[in-house]
Amino acid sequence: MHSPNQIIYEFSHTRSEPPAPHPIAPRRQDIEWLFTALFDAYGPRNWWPTVHGGSFELVVGAILVQNISWGNVERALVNMRDTDVWSFPSILETPDEEMHEIIRPSGYYKAKTRKLKEFAEFIISRYDGDLDRLFALPIDEMREQLLSVWGIGEETADDIILYGAHKPSFVIDTYTKRLLGRLGWEIRGNSYSAYQQLFHEMLPHDTYLFNEYHALIDHHVARFCKKKPLCDRCVLANDCPVGLGITQP
DNA sequence: TACCAGGTGACTG
DNA sequence: CAGTCACATGGT
């Protein structure tokens, strides 16, 4: 399963059932169709935006982007680089008041200062400051380690595992939940793990596939499946109860 | 102008 | 367990 094109070629091109007013439990065919439809529309996203690149920036960016737009994060990353706060030791050495000013554009700057310092303390004390040692762990173990850090929740942990360690852990976010909800797919429990289990059960555990799938959802939802949806320009509209006017957003 | 953006932890019933 | 709230900046 190393050829992305082969995966796409094998995937379903149709939904299991036509859009209906009542929610259904999505089947494998639906999960495959959604990826195929988005990939056909937008092509490969080659995702995770970077300013300078590298694992350090990936982790810092994953924390700073929590509930904020990426544009805000870019400013904070540039500030960190410009002020030479560009390593875990230097994060710990920088006084809180300075960190506040440096990452202020990313919002929640006091909370995120603590989160960065908690992670820096964690990676230095347990892994000698070496992210690659953390990334070498099996997925479940790595996830458990990440979740033990204050400020790292499920999505941030999966961001780091998928886009940092390049291992297949599917990322769920508000965009994913909104899109599936609009498509009329009901997930039992509505919890993060319920959504993740769905994708993990329906798809081959392939890093490239998980990377592209989440990136495509983000790309699509951010542009068209907004809180106030732009169904007249949506490529999924004819397969979506909201797009067809059968249900309300 | 008010609303929104790639969450998380603390607290409540 | 599920719901609610604070946390905060910059763009539209």
Q: Which of residues 168-227 of A touch strand B (CB under 7 A)?
A: 171, 173-175, 218, 222, 226-227
Q: What is the CATH number of the domain that holds A204?
A: 1.10.1670.10
Question: Largest alpha-carbon pair distance within chain A?
Answer: 58
Please state, for a pLDDT cut of 70, what percent of chain A lies above it.
Answer: 96
Check: CB of residue A113 under 8 Å from CB of residue A100.
Answer: yes
Residue A197, amino acid: Q
Q: What kind and span of H or E run contains A38?
A: helix A28-42
Say how far A84 CA is from C2 C1', in Å: 43
Domain that holds residue A180: 4-45+170-239
Nucleotide minimizing C1' to CA distance for residue A69: B5
Q: Per the structure, how many domains does chain A have? A: 2
**Which of left, alpha, beta for A106 (phi over 0: left; psi -120 to 50: alpha)?**
alpha
Q: Are A81 and A120 within one domain?
A: yes
Structure tokens at A136: 């070498």
Q: Does residue A68 approach strand B to less than 7 Å at its CB?
A: yes
Return the pLDDT at A4. 57
Residue A172, amino acid: I
Nucleotide minimizing C1' to CA distance for residue A106: C9
What would the mean pLDDT of A159-164 be, rounded to a whole number? 97
- The nucleotides of chain C lying under 7 Å from a protein CB are 2-3, 7-11
Say how far A53 CA is from C9 C1', in Å: 23
The pTM of this model reads: 0.96
Q: For A197-237, what is each residue's pLDDT tens digit? A: 999 999 999 999 999 999 999 999 999 999 999 999 999 99
Distance CA(A90)–CA(A238), nearest Å, equals: 52
Q: For A65-100, what is each residue's pLDDT tens digit? A: 999 999 999 999 999 999 999 999 999 999 999 999
Structure tokens at A19: 């859009």
Return the pLDDT at A46. 84
Q: Are A151 and A60 within one domain?
A: yes
Return the pLDDT at A2. 43
Q: Of A2-6, A19-23, A113-117, A167-171, where does mean pLDDT reach its minimum?
A: A2-6
Say how far A145 CA is from B11 C1', in Å: 25
- The nucleotides of chain B lying under 7 Å from a protein CB are 3-10
Output the CA torsion sign for A80, A84, A86, A87. Answer: negative
User: What is the three-class DSSP state of A24?
Assistant: strand
Q: Which of A164, A198, A224 is the last residue of a domain?
A: A164
Q: Is the pLDDT of residue A39 over 50?
A: yes
Return the pLDDT at A10. 82
Nearest Cα to Cα of residue A101 among A70, A79, A131: A79
